[in-house]
Structure 1
Amino acid sequence: MKNLLFIILTIILSSCNSGNKGLVENTSIILAPEDAKINGISLVATNHPITAAQIKPLADFNANYTAIIPYAWMRAIDQPEIFYSEDRGDWGEKSNGVTITNQLLNDQGISAMIKPQIWIRRGDYTGHIKLTKEEDWQLLEKTYSSYIMRFVKIAEEKNIPLFCIGTELDSFVDARPEYWNNLIKEIRSIYKGQLTYAANWDSYKRVHFWNELDFIGVDAYFPMCDLKTPDPENINASWGKWKAELVSVSQKHHNKKILFTEYGYISADFAGREPWKNAPEEYGVNQEAQQILYEGLFKNVWNEKWMAGGFFWKYHAEDSRWHGFEKRFTPQNKKAAQTITDAYRKSS
């Protein structure tokens, strides 16, 4: 059956660890992602231990993957040390929280991608890390590797099938190619799952290590239009440009598939103008704009052969995180939720 998601509840056989890339293991799930779309959700880490009841609505989206996102911190773009502590941050960002969240997802038939991300104080963009001294770069590399490898080991131990080695680190990737090549080799030496990297929409074309990964990862906040409420025909025309670019990059790397490691839109006026931004105060709530943009994305790219799928941004499992997000990215309790649910059902 076309685009069938092979979900086989079974005991994991030792032979599955032989390096065969055709099937990717999870604790109780074996998936063939090359034959099915990754219908994914980006899960906001919970402050408190997550429950099965909080995971259930993710399955209601017809999702088969969820991104678990443990954050680390930097003080500023010119201060190189990365901080991660099991004693700091939300429960869902800690090793135990990641492990338990993964198991609860598996119980719902959902696989996980671990997607570590860095938060820089004041919300500065991680792609603008600016270091001038060799010793600073080396400190960044040392602390980043420590942070990443912590979760690589968890991914291997728990048979998590997909790992993202970094998110929107433009200047770091550009400046230190040898480091990234060595990091990928180190990860591959212990982790048998699939790898991607989440490059920003305006920098993914120049990432040098796509041939070493399994998917070309793109945080797909492509500008769509300047209209207050987008017109579907306008969206179709905009996707024509971006599709040509995506296809070109895929072909350049031996037809490697594109994975939207993040995609999504705010539910506010002018949602297609600069999709990576939250709405300013003067923009009104506009669920229709968000819905039209999602519809345009699914119509134009989701069923393409080069498209592996993606993870919408984002889902809040705790009620306390929902309040005040009427104009923000989450599609929960908005018109776009049904659009996503229907698209995921059709591609599963």
Structure 2
Amino acid sequence: MRQIGILLLFFLQFSCGQKPEKINGVSFVGSREPADQEHVEAVMNVNADHAAVMPFGFIRELGSPEIIFDTDRQWYGETREGARQYIKLLQKNGIQVMLKPQLWIWRGVFTGDLKMNSEADWKRLEEEYSDFILTYADLAEETGTAIFCIGTELEEFVKARPEYWKSLIKEIRSRYQGKLTYAANWDEYPRTPFWRELDYIGMDAYFPLSEERNPGVEELREGWQKWKKQINELSRSVGRPVLFTEYGYRSMDYAAKKPWLVDRGEQQVNLTAQANAKKALFEEFWKESWFAGGFVWKWFIHHPRAGGPSDNRFTPQNKPAEAVIRDYYRKQ
């Protein structure tokens, strides 16, 4: 009955022309210390009404099944205690939370390539991942968190163990009463097999849009067209709205060519490219009834010293892109 109800609501929004409220979110990066009111006020100042809180588990190498998490060697904001403190403070200020536990493989190896070398290791990984993710599903329920993300960019794991993921979703549903999503990589989402079991089609939206050094808004909007068509078709076919679990661009030349790049390359700072790319994304998606909103990547809690005009990384803080976000989030 729950699945039927979701489908009916989804299609009523289309047929009645209803425009649901958007999730105007930021990815609230874990720090070494607790968050305080000043940190949350900076989030509110860009008119955000949601924040992703992201505790981490760590894997030593690509083929290892062991997940290390919630230890005293982690930063405070990456632990269960820290996630709880962040959630409660954000909620106290009227900001709803997506709890988004993530894995980190040593030296930043891409999690989508996580693959085991034996059946025994796969079984061990399943046990380890269940322990990790259910720990945070329980926290999400305890804190009344609005959305819970069951995984982030784990394509090989999902592809190799589909029955595990189906049973995991059922177990999470038995513990947590809020909405569920999964954060698929931008080129993974068409192959994710369990969208109908979740409430949102989640994707980390690092789609390539332009080969140009400094593309304008209209060129970037044109670059979205083929991707947008495919995303919309999937949304309609499975009857679920789309949520950008991450979206963002670096403030550098060629920002929309390979938006997923996280290397430390010293591309020249280009604040306009970042701002234009965000404008194009807002103009293409925030008006669509099948689009639920998203979480900008990424937002550091110490706002005054984050980002700035000489920074070429993802954060929009203290850059023109911050004003773009503030303006579009205010309109929603």
TM over 0.5: yes
Q: Which residue of 2 aligns with 1:228?
A: 213
Does 2:292 correspond to 1:308? Answer: yes
User: How far apart are 1:319 and its partner, in Å?
Assistant: 6.0
Rate the CA distance shift 1:279–1:144 in 2: closer, same or farther, 3 A: closer
Match of residue 257, structure 1, among 217, 241, 250: 241
Residues in 2 aligned to 1:108 and 1:282: alpha-carbon distance in whole angstroms: 38
Aligned: 1:197 with 2:182? yes
Give the TM-score of the pair, scaled to structure 2.
Answer: 0.92
Moved over 6 A (4+): none
Residue number in structure 1 paired with 2:148: 163
CA RMSD of aligned residues (A): 1.8
Equivalent AA in structure 1 for residue 112 of structure 2:
G
Find the aligned partners of 2:34 and 2:304 in 1 and give their Cα distance.
Answer: 14
Tell me, in whole angstroms, the C-alpha distance in 2 between the residues paired with 1:321 and 1:43: 15
In structure 2, the partner of 1:247 is: 232
Aligned partner of 2:222 in structure 1 is 237
Which whole-Å CA distance do the structure 1 matches of 2:132 and 2:264 have between them? 33
Query: How far is 1:279 from its partner?
Result: 6.0
SS of the residue 1:39 aligns to: strand
Q: Corresponding residue for 1:276? A: 260
Deviations 1:206-252 (A, max 9, x none): 11100000000010000010111112222121111111010111111
Equivalent residues of 1:200, 1:219 under 8 A apart: yes
Gaps of 5+ in 1: 1-19, 22-33
Amino acid across the alignment from 2:91:
N
Q: Which runs of 5+ in 2 are unaligned?
A: 7-18
- State the Cα distance separating 1:82 from its structure 2 match: 1.1
Distance 2:217 2:50 in 1: 28
Instruction: Give the structure 2 partner of residue 63 of structure 1.
Output: 48
Q: For residues 136 and 201 of structure 1, what CA distance do their matches in structure 2 show?
A: 27
Preserved contact between residue 64 and residue 110 of structure 1 (Cα < 8 Å): yes
> 2:20 touches 2:289 (CA, 8 Å); kept in 1?
no
Contact 1:92 1:98 in 2 (8 A): yes
Q: Percent identity?
A: 45
The answer for the alignment partner of 1:77 in structure 2 is 62
**2:222 corresponds to 1:208:** no
Q: Distance in 1 between matches of 2:177 and 2:28?
A: 23
What is the CA–CA distance in structure 2 between the aligned matches of 1:46 and 1:282, rounded to whole Å?
Answer: 25
